[in-house]
Amino acid sequence: MTTAKDIISLNNIFMQTVRMNSTIKMSLEDIHHLILYDLKLNIKHLSSSQASTLPYMLICYIKNWPGWEKKNEYENGSLNMQSWYRRFRQYILYKMSLLITKTLAIADNELEMENKPLKQVDSSTQLSNRATFASFSIDVSGPASLLSNLVFWGVGDDISVEEHAERPWIAIDSIQLLNYPHVEVEFNSPELSFKRTFEPRVSRYISGCADMLHEKPNFILGKHRINTETSKFVFSTSLLEEYIDYYKKSMFPLIAPEQQEEVSVILNQFYLDMLDIKVNDTIAENRQVSFNLGKNIFKRSKKISNSMEENGRPTVIFNEIFLPKVVSSFRYFTGMQEYTSEGRRIISSNKTSLKMMKFKPIIRYRCIYCKLHFIGPTGLKDFLSHLETKHKREQPLLCLLCKKSFEISDLAKQRWKCTCQL
Contact (CB, 8 A) for 152 and 138: no
Query: In Å, how far are 21, 94, 229, 299 from 108, measured between CA atoms?
Result: 43, 21, 11, 35
- DSSP for residue 68: G
* Statement to judge: residues 175 and 54 lie in one domain: no
* Statement to judge: residues 96 and 159 lie in one domain: no
Query: Looking at the domain assignment, is residue 124 inside a domain?
Result: no
Query: Looking at the domain assignment, is residue 418 inside a domain?
Result: no
Three-class DSSP category at 154: strand
* Statement to judge: residues 98 and 213 lie in one domain: no
Q: CA-CA distance, 364 to 147, in Å (whole number)? A: 26
* Statement to judge: residues 78 and 225 lie in one domain: no
Task: Supply the DSSP string of 212-281, one letter for each residue.
Answer: ----PPPSEEEEEES-TTS---EEEHHHHHHHHHHHHHHHGGGS-HHHHHHHHHHHHHHHHHHHHH-BTT
Tallying the residues shown for the chain, one arrives at: 422
Query: Looking at the domain assignment, is residue 125 inside a domain?
Result: no
* Statement to judge: residues 31 and 156 lie in one domain: no
* Statement to judge: residues 154 and 56 lie in one domain: no
* Statement to judge: residues 155 and 103 lie in one domain: no
Query: Looking at the domain assignment, is residue 133 inside a domain?
Result: no
Q: CA-CA distance, 327 to 282, in Å (whole number)? A: 18
Q: CA-CA distance, 88 to 68, in Å (whole number)? A: 9
Query: Looking at the domain assignment, is residue 131 inside a domain?
Result: no
Q: CA-CA distance, 323 to 400, in Å (whole number)? A: 11
List the pLDDT tens digit at each of the 422 positions of the chain: 334 445 678 888 888 888 775 667 778 888 888 888 888 888 877 777 677 778 888 887 888 787 888 888 888 888 888 888 888 888 888 878 877 776 544 544 555 544 444 333 333 333 334 444 444 556 666 666 666 667 666 555 666 676 767 778 889 999 999 999 999 999 998 889 999 999 998 887 766 565 555 566 788 999 988 887 777 788 889 889 988 988 888 888 888 898 999 999 999 999 999 999 998 889 999 999 999 999 999 998 766 555 545 555 556 677 788 999 999 999 988 776 554 544 545 555 444 334 544 567 899 999 998 899 999 889 999 999 999 888 878 889 999 888 899 999 999 999 999 988 87
- DSSP for residue 373: E
Three-class DSSP category at 356: helix
Domain count, the chain: 2
* Statement to judge: residues 62 and 201 lie in one domain: no
Beta-bridged to residue 291, according to DSSP, are 220, 326
Query: Looking at the domain assignment, is residue 57 inside a domain?
Result: yes
Q: Which of 67, 96, 111 is the last residue in one of the domains? A: 111
Contact (CB, 8 A) for 221 and 118: yes
Query: Looking at the domain assignment, is residue 171 inside a domain?
Result: yes
- pLDDT, position 321: 86
The domain of 35 spans 4-111
Other beta carbons within 10 angstroms of residue 179's beta carbon come to 24
Relative to beta strand 287-292, strand 220-225 is antiparallel
CA quadruple 347, 349, 351, 352: dihedral, nearest 10? -100
* Statement to judge: residues 76 and 195 lie in one domain: no
* Statement to judge: residues 173 and 105 lie in one domain: no
- pLDDT, position 393: 83
Beta-bridged to residue 336, according to DSSP, are 347
Termini Cα distance of the chain: 68
In the chain, the amino acid numbered 293 is L
Query: Looking at the domain assignment, is residue 91 inside a domain?
Result: yes
* 0.75 surpassed by pTM: no
* Statement to judge: residues 107 and 224 lie in one domain: no
* Statement to judge: residues 163 and 290 lie in one domain: yes
